[in-house]
Chains A and B, each alone.
Chain A
Amino acid sequence: MPEPLADERAFLGELIGDRAGAWDLAGELPLDLLHKAGARGLLCAQVPASFGGLGATSQDNGEFTAYAGSLDSSLRSIMTSQGIVAYTVQRFGDRAQRRHYLAELTSGKLAGVGFSEPGAGSDLSSMETSIEPDGDGFVVNGEKKWLTGARYADYLLILGRNGDAAAAAMIPVDSPGLEIDLVADPMGCRAAGHANVRFTGIRLPASAVLGGGGQSLPMLFTTALSYGRMSIAWGCAGIIRACLQAAGTHTRNRTQGGVALAEHQLVRRHLAELLIAEQTSTRICEHASRSWDSGSPDMAVMAVLAKHTSAGHAAGSAATAVQLLGSAGAQDGHVVARAYRDAKLMELIEGSNEICQLILAEHALSITG
């Protein structure tokens, strides 16, 4: 069976080459590379073909995302953001908005997404940014934190309050009243271009607010986050694969005590654990993608389960890989050093470990009598 998205995978592999370490050290991705990947629809591969996208299933985009994650979590996190924006437009946009924005998002325009605020991290229901009607358009006021990819973006999809409901607005980054401050020295996904953004009286035409606004805030952010959780879950499976690969190669080739490291039993146990982590994460991601592709009502919960499981395994596997490589991996830019920093942050975002556990506990209660 030919691998789905095989050409896209080869294209992405070539674009990245062996440069991910250098981008991590520089804290920046080449903008032309993002435009090239975007123009082939790679950053949001699930956009249907009728809108100009690759029309990938969650499963196929998942494997593709894992591949990206195994090479470079900064670039993978840009894919996650672009994919969230595309999915949110696809669900909440009206017909004209879907056509317009999805065509742009699959032809090179880049977008980030803003949920988090100074007072609203884990608790998104306390969001204060407002997107209110003003004349025949809307006006946006507020502040968002840590937007992945904001440095490179053409648009920011911003969630906010809209009367007693909520809205999501596509804000061009050159809008008067928009201020972007880069987050200095992020611990992980260093080249992903995170920024804090402030909106002061930004005026938008009605066509920039998805579906005209008036949505339920929880429905809006859960829909957007669910796509993000799938993407992060698969991206973390990729991190684990990169760690397994690095640890396997290193322990076979490095000799200590007269034998290869891999001949030491305590080392072998680490290798077994890396394999278990890789398989567990992959299978749970596949399960969540099947729920997604079949439109199961449980898809949002399965996305949380997959994200939580994969992120935890990625953080643990990265620590194991750093351990096994010793000083050989103990330098920023190295694949396992990046994995160690990047994976830890995956336990924080789009539902921290604790928030995922709360959601899963709620689900446990709902399926038991």
Chain B
Amino acid sequence: MTAESTTSAATAETIRHELLGFLAERIKTTVEPEQDLFSSGLVSSMFAMQLVVHLEEAYDIAIVGPDLKLDSFRTVESMTALVLRLKDADDPAGDA
């Protein structure tokens, strides 16, 4: 599992790399870091939820409330930024 090894020292580079790999494996398409996954129809409704749970599991974060906005998930870049921000936050899991 690629995600496990990135947990301790996740950088933008490793997260981006891992996410691109996860997407390639799950949706069988190579995507670009800036590609809009939602408007291009690449993300099925099932996969939208898998993506959230995957990020939470792989990076030990809780994505809830206002962090679950569409804009946070549109591209690999925006998801990478979300993960980095939540990992850095003092209270990443909120009170969920």
Contacts and interface: CB of A to CB of B under 8 A. Distances in A.
Contacts, number: 94
A174 B46 CA distance: 34
Interface string A213-237: 0111011011100100000000000
A265 interface: no
Interface residues of B, number: 28
Contacts of B70: 165-166, 214-216, 219
B28 A366 contact: yes
A57 to B, nearest CB: 16
A99 to B, nearest CB: 8
Contacts of B52: 219, 223
Name A's interface SS.
helix
Interface in A314-369: 359, 362-363, 365-366
7 contacts: A50-B95, A91-B64, A210-B65, A218-B43, A219-B49, A297-B51, A300-B49
Interface residues of A, number: 40
Nearest to B73: A216
Name B's interface SS.
helix
A218 B95 CA distance: 25
A94 B65 contact: yes
Contacts of A215: 68-70
Nearest to B39: A164
A211 B71 CA distance: 13
Given A90-B96, A219-B45, A300-B50, 5 more contacts: A91-B64, A295-B53, A295-B57, A297-B50, A298-B50
The 8 closest A-B pairs by CB, nearest first: A218-B45, A219-B48, A216-B70, A297-B54, A94-B65, A222-B49, A300-B49, A214-B69
B82 to A, nearest CB: 13
Nearest to A165: B70
Contacts of A166: 70
Interface centre among A50, A125, A211, A212 (most CB of B within 10 A): A211
Interface centre among B38, B53, B57, B94 (most CB of A within 10 A): B53
A299 interface: yes
B45 A93 contact: no
Interface of A: 48, 50, 90-95, 97-99, 124-125, 165-166, 210-212, 214-216, 218-219, 221-223, 226, 295-301, 304, 359, 362-363, 365-366
B44 interface: yes
Nearest to B56: A295
Given A95-B95, A295-B56, A219 B50 contact: no
Contacts of A97: 65
Interface string B59-96: 00000111011110100000000000000000000111
A222 B65 contact: no
Given A215-B70, A216-B73, A219-B70, A95 B65 contact: yes
Nearest to B58: A297
Contacts of B46: 222, 300-301, 304, 359, 362-363
